[in-house]
Amino acid sequence: MRLRDLGERELIRAIRKDFAKPGKGLILGIGDDAAVIEGGKRRLILTTDVLIEGSHFLRALQPAFWLGRKSLNVNLSDIAAMGGTPRYVLLGLGLPQTVDTRWVSDFFSGFKSAATESGALLIGGDLSQAAEVFISVTAIGEGRAIIRRNGGRPGDLIFASGFLGDAAGGLRLLRRGFRLGRDKKADHLLKAFLDPVPQVRLGRRLASRGLASSMIDSSDGLSVDLLHLCEESGLGAELELDRLPISPQLRNFEKDPSALALHGGEDYQLVFTVAPGKYQAALALRRHFMITPIGRMTKARRLCIIDRRGKKKPLPIKGYEHFIKQRKESGKG
């Protein structure tokens, strides 16, 4: 059997099952945005991400400086999704011999600028020759109150930070030939894709105030990431189409911006749930952060979208088949 017939999700499930076991000092293993281990007074949050040319980025479309920033920031987004503060980072890099050293120095300039902004220190790495560029980042954060994916309760409100769909819109513009700095209207979307900002401050605030019952970052698209929250909490969710935070710029360039907001991916915003009793306190954060209530968690284990006419429809997403299947097997929902 070839890997393409098995699929990444199945493989990860098998690995997780095979390797999941408790360990001394281990607070949280495989399956959340990051792992958590004991580290003295605080907890240490560890996460690793791999970016591969062709699959995760396109050297022709993504300038090395922005790619350097994004390589680090997507990892820091995982730490943000646990409510942690980035502290250290290790970098594994595979480079073809034909890569220009200018590309490499631009990449490192970008990586360093993101590290400086976040306060994360590069403490180690490995560099190697490879057929294609690949980037492997391991980030280590610290936190006291950790927000997991599995804490949602029925009736909890679902919030999203920032705008959704902008990164996917930006990628489409890049593919259509748009480039940063030439068109102000396009720049907002291009920037969202090329230089996503990890929501570290918001994540930490939610953790320190105990406002979020569960949290994830929106890397795969709202629908898939919400599915992860639902799976881990054993719940379903209803989204309100009209409430999705869609930027005017995305509306300007896209006929169906909701589709990108729901399924686009790479926004690296936070998606989190808030108990009804903490709803007002969460809303008060809007003085400092852009957050939007977009739906609620439900006992019924299905993902639905409520359209503009108030009609409830199932949300079609890749990977949902398994969710449905699991629900039937377990007899719940």
35 binds its own copies (CB under 8 A): yes
11 binds its own copies (CB under 8 A): yes
Neighbours of 319 (CB within 10 A): 15
Residue with tokens 């009793």, as numbered in its chain: 277
CB 163 within 8 A of CB 197: no
34 binds its own copies (CB under 8 A): yes
> Per-residue x/- marks for its own copies, 140-179, CB under 8 A?
x---------------------------------------
> Per-residue x/- marks for its own copies, 55-94, CB under 8 A?
xx------------------------------xx-xxxxx
Site for its own copies in 185-204 (CB under 8 A): none
Q: How far apart are CA 212 and CA 151, in angstroms?
A: 8
Of the candidates 58, 123, 281, 284, which one interacts with its own copies according to CB under 8 A? 123
- Least distance between its own copies and beta carbon 187 (Å): 29
> Per-residue x/- marks for its own copies, 258-277, CB under 8 A?
--------------------
CB 333 within 8 A of CB 279: no
Stretch that binds its own copies, among 57-65, 121-129, 160-168, 241-249 (CB under 8 A): 121-129
- Dig out the tokens for 74 from the structure: 């997507």
Give the type of residue at 172. R
The tally of CA atoms less than 13 A away on the side-chain side of residue 105 is 3
Of the candidates 60, 129, 256, 331, which one interacts with its own copies according to CB under 8 A? 129
Task: Please provide residue 109's backbone torsions phi and psi, each rounded to the nearest 5 degrees.
Answer: -60, -45
CB 63 within 8 A of CB 104: no
Stretch that binds its own copies, among 25-33, 222-230, 287-295, 319-327 (CB under 8 A): 25-33
Q: How far apart are CA 105 and CA 84, in angstroms?
A: 29
Site for its own copies in 207-246 (CB under 8 A): none
